[in-house]
Amino acid sequence: MSSPSPKPFKNPRAQYDFKGRTCSIVSVGSYVPERVLTNGDLEKMMDTSDEWITSRTGIRERRIAADDEFTSDLGAKAALRAMQKAGITADQIDLIIVATITPDMPFPSTACLVQEKIGAHRAAAFDLEAACSGFIYGLEIGHQFIMSRTYDTVLVIGAEKLSSIIDWSDRNTCVLFGDGAGAAILQNRPDSHGLLTACMGADGSKAGLLSMPGGGSQCPATAKSVEGRLHYLRMDGKETFKNAVNAMLHAAKEVLKRCEIGADQIKCVIPHQANRRIIDAVTDRLGVESERVFVNLEKYGNTSAASVAIALDEAVESGRVTQGDLILLVVFGAGLTWGAAVIEW
Ligand code: UT7
């Protein structure tokens, strides 16, 4: 593996006087359900093949939560792992942000349900909906709360039970997604690692490319909406693919520019895990060889808001990133939404 050159970089936020305040990503943790659904299993359920799924997406298997295991359970388990690694107790947490498109229910928020499950009774809690981009949105929001001195400890979770909104009769989408959760603890600590910069974007004019039309105020649940299969995820795969490549490339370039670094200085790129071909198209254009790109979608498929959170945890646990490394996170999802971040680990 080629090592990135040890060139200097700019902390874009250093120009502001935060009076000694710093925001560190103190730890990450993740959890995936036990049940594995392989491409071979899907072959028995519908007209598809391991060959098609692997060659078009890179996905070999995905995790499926148990019937009595909900998004809040996955999120709570990931959170407890992150808390244990950080050495913090639940009563230290000031704020819980849960990024998800599969909340346990429309309200109350999944963040409130996680608060109860982990016993973080002091914490404020809310959900954030930015689809697959949600974890970067959450990290940036958590960072802002810490730098503004509003809170000292923020728990950011990306958690999804996508199997609950997958249309198992639609082979175009059902083979792509899986369940899981990842979490990060942000704190005001004088450690070296944290978010150097993050950018977030959105384009609501393309909302129709990837959506679940039913269940909201526009189309509440009725016998007709159920019959019309409106409570399932729908996607125009080809258009979403093109938009994903362009938006991720744009976001990655933006954060690299802000830090005045080249892609050669990034130790590890952790992209949203939707499709191997999207990841390759983005990283090829950035000039990052595959050895510096973290990919785990063969095991989990697309877990939306949990995707980069799980990948970051696995990258750290496997030693792919170590203290002082620069990491590039880059994401894209329904909305449309996108984002990127440079982290000094
Ligand atoms: O996380 C949010 C972002 N999500 C994404 O970024 C996903 C973006 N999109 C994609 O990853 C890809 O577009 C897909 C993987 C969804 C589809 O790949 P594709 O190369 O764009 O395939 P396609 O839609 O052009 O379909 C090609 C063929 C079609 O058959 P015909 O019409 O050419 O005869 C499909 O019916 O493949 C067929 N097909 C399948 N065949 C076997 C679609 N799904 C399957 C399947 N198994 N599961």
Of 49, 56, 248, 276, the residue with max ligand 1 atoms within 8 A of its CB, to mutate for a pocket test, comes to 56
Domain boundary among 170, 187, 204: 187
Residue 162 Cβ inside 6 Å of ligand 1? The answer reads: no
For residue 8, tell me if it sits in a domain. no
Domain count for the chain, please give it.
Answer: 2
Q: pLDDT confidence of 4, banded at 50, 70, 90?
A: low
Residue 172 Cβ inside 6 Å of ligand 1? The answer reads: yes
| Share above pLDDT 90 across residues of the chain, in percent, rounded to a whole number | 91
Question: Is residue 147 located within the same domain as residue 129?
Answer: yes
Which residues is 186 bridged to in the sheet? Answer: 25, 154
Question: Is residue 206 located within the same domain as residue 59?
Answer: no
**Phi, psi angle pair for 323, to nearest 5°:** -55, 135
CA of 57 to the centre of ligand 1 (A): 8
Q: pLDDT at position 148, please?
A: 92
Q: Summarize the confidence of residues 47-57 as an average pLDDT.
A: 98
Question: Is residue 23 located within the same domain as residue 85?
Answer: yes
Domain boundary among 166, 187, 208: 187
CA distance 98 to 309: 12
Position 109 pLDDT exceeds 90: yes
Q: Are strands 124-128 and 95-99 parallel, antiparallel or unpaired?
A: parallel
For residue 326, tell me if it sits in a domain. yes
Question: Is residue 168 located within the same domain as residue 284?
Answer: no
Of 55, 167, 241, the residue with max ligand 1 atoms within 8 A of its CB, to mutate for a pocket test, comes to 241
* Local structure of 273: helix, strand or coil: coil
Residue nearest to atom 32 of ligand 1 (CA): 172
Q: Which of 17-21, 43-47, 74-78 has the lowest mean pLDDT?
A: 17-21
Question: Is residue 159 located within the same domain as residue 23?
Answer: yes
pLDDT in tens, 226-278: 999 999 999 999 999 999 999 999 999 999 999 999 999 999 999 999 999 99
Average pLDDT, the chain: 95
HEC assignment per residue over 6-47 = CCCCCCHHHHCCCCCCCCEEEEEEEECCCEEEEHHHHHHHCC
> Can you give the pTM of this predicted structure?
0.95
CA of 3 to the centre of ligand 1 (A): 36
Position 5 pLDDT exceeds 80: no
Short-list 246, 172, 168, 167, CA closest to 206: 246
Domain boundary among 155, 187, 219: 187
Question: Is residue 144 located within the same domain as residue 213?
Answer: no
**Extended beta strands in the chain, E state:** 24-31, 35-38, 61-64, 95-99, 124-128, 153-161, 179-187, 194-202, 210-211, 234-235, 268-271, 326-333, 337-344
Question: Is residue 38 located within the same domain as residue 183?
Answer: yes
Question: Is residue 178 located within the same domain as residue 251?
Answer: no
Q: Which of 29-43, 52-66, 119-133, 177-191 has the lowest mean pLDDT?
A: 177-191
Catalytic residues: 132, 272, 302
16-22 long-range contacts (CB < 8 A, ≥24 apart) are 18/147, 21/146, 21/147, 21/149, 21/188, 22/188, 22/189, 22/190, 22/191, 22/194
Question: Is residue 180 located within the same domain as residue 201?
Answer: no
For residue 255, tell me if it sits in a domain. yes
Domain encompassing residue 79: 14-187
Q: pLDDT confidence of 11, banded at 50, 70, 90?
A: confident
Q: Which of 10-14, 91-95, 251-255, 289-293 has the lowest mean pLDDT?
A: 10-14
CA of 240 to the centre of ligand 1 (A): 11
Residue 132 Cβ inside 6 Å of ligand 1? The answer reads: yes
- CATH number of the domain that 37 lies in? 3.40.47.10
Position 120 pLDDT exceeds 60: yes
Question: Is residue 129 located within the same domain as residue 207?
Answer: no
Q: pLDDT confidence of 192, banded at 50, 70, 90?
A: low
Q: pLDDT confidence of 13, banded at 50, 70, 90?
A: confident
For residue 206, tell me if it sits in a domain. yes
For residue 179, tell me if it sits in a domain. yes
Residue 256 Cβ inside 6 Å of ligand 1? The answer reads: no
For residue 158, tell me if it sits in a domain. yes
Position 43 pLDDT exceeds 60: yes
DSSP state of 2: P
Residue nearest to atom 16 of ligand 1 (CA): 237
Residue 192 Cβ inside 6 Å of ligand 1? The answer reads: no
Question: Is residue 24 located within the same domain as residue 173?
Answer: yes
Q: pLDDT confidence of 279, banded at 50, 70, 90?
A: very high
Position 118 pLDDT exceeds 70: yes
Q: What letter represents residue 147's amino acid?
A: M
CA of 142 to the centre of ligand 1 (A): 35
For residue 117, tell me if it sits in a domain. yes
CA of 298 to the centre of ligand 1 (A): 16
For residue 246, tell me if it sits in a domain. yes
Question: Is residue 296 located within the same domain as residue 154?
Answer: no
H/E stretch holding 281 reads helix 276-286
CA triple 271-267-303, angle to 5 deg? 20
**What b/e string do you get for 291-326 counting C-beta neighbours within 10 Å, with b at 16 or more?**
ebbbbbbbbbbbbbbbbbbbbbbbbbeeebbeeebb
DSSP conformation letters of 213-247: -SSSSSS---HHHHHTTTTS-EE-HHHHHHHHHHH
Position 207 pLDDT exceeds 60: yes
